[in-house]
A and B are shown apart, each in its own frame.
Chain A
Amino acid sequence: QLQLQESGPGLVNPSETLSLTCSVSSGSINSRGYYWGWIRQPPGKGLEWIGGIYYSGSTYYNPSLKSRVTISIDTSKNHFSLRLSSVTAADTAVYYCVRDTRHSTYEAGGWFDPWGQGTPVTVSS
């Protein structure tokens, strides 16, 4: 059964870059048909989609975060990563990595399953 696990610092200073990695086990990240993505949830609030990456490296991002976000993939290590620059307190959240079944060509369609357990990140000095 495919499993995803987030890792990275739990505390980031304001104005710096948040970096997280999602390790995929019991399955290959280098498989056609899937994107790999990130979703976040501020404390006590709802879910916000950040973006996703295909195994080939093709990406799609939330326009509200696009200027600050980079998602990359390393198929040799079976993991993918998130970088979010110039963070502020508003970026404090639990960050989840997910498998995204979106089609590689068509924009419409897809769902998020499974999810990692989530990793909390606080932006504070």
Chain B
Amino acid sequence: DIQMTQSPSSLSASVGDRVTLTCRASQTISSYLNWYQQKPGKAPKLLIYVASNLQSGVPSRFSGSGSGTDFTLTISSLQPEDFATYYCQQSYRTPRTFGQGTKVEIK
């Protein structure tokens, strides 16, 4: 299985901060990397697909980059509604696997 490792596991940030989350795959996955946002008690929501494509309806302050094994999700200016847990997921090989998540908390 392809292991996905996210860092940090959690972070504290303030409204307006620029935040960068990292996801690393245990082997190359080309650009087959997706990002999801999950708020407590809710289902995950797709933010970014194929590494850098913004899902329709997602604010432009979210962006994704990377290829191969290293990927990043950036929030350019953190908003109150962005406090959540973020998961990366590879779709290069079966089984599809997720990172363990990065929890973004209010400082």
Contacts and interface: CB of A to CB of B under 8 A. Distances in A.
Contact of A49 (B30, B32, B95, B99): B95
A47 B96 CA distance: 10
- Interface footprint category on A: 20 to 34
Nearest to B97: A49
Interface of A: 46-49, 60-64, 96, 102, 107-118
Which of A63, A108, A117 has the most chain B CB within a 10 Å cutoff?
A: A108
A61 B87 CA distance: 21
- Interface footprint category on B: 20 to 34
Interface of B: 30, 32, 34, 36, 42-46, 49-50, 55, 87, 89, 91-101
A10 to B, nearest CB: 16
The secondary structure that dominates the B interface is: loop
Contacts, number: 60
A115 B43 contact: yes
Contact of A60 (B44, B49, B94, B98): B94
22 contacts: A46-B87, A46-B101, A47-B44, A47-B98, A48-B98, A49-B95, A61-B95, A62-B96, A96-B43, A96-B44, A107-B93, A108-B30, A108-B32, A108-B93, A109-B91, A112-B36, A112-B44, A112-B89, A114-B46, A115-B45, A117-B43, A118-B43
Contacts of B55: 113
Contacts of A116: 43
Which of B43, B87, B98 has the most chain A CB within a 10 Å cutoff?
A: B43
Contacts of A118: 43
A48 B34 CA distance: 15
Nearest to A96: B43
A32 B92 CA distance: 21
Given A47-B98, A96-B44, A114-B46, 10 more contacts: A46-B100, A49-B98, A62-B94, A63-B94, A64-B95, A108-B30, A111-B49, A112-B89, A115-B44, A116-B43
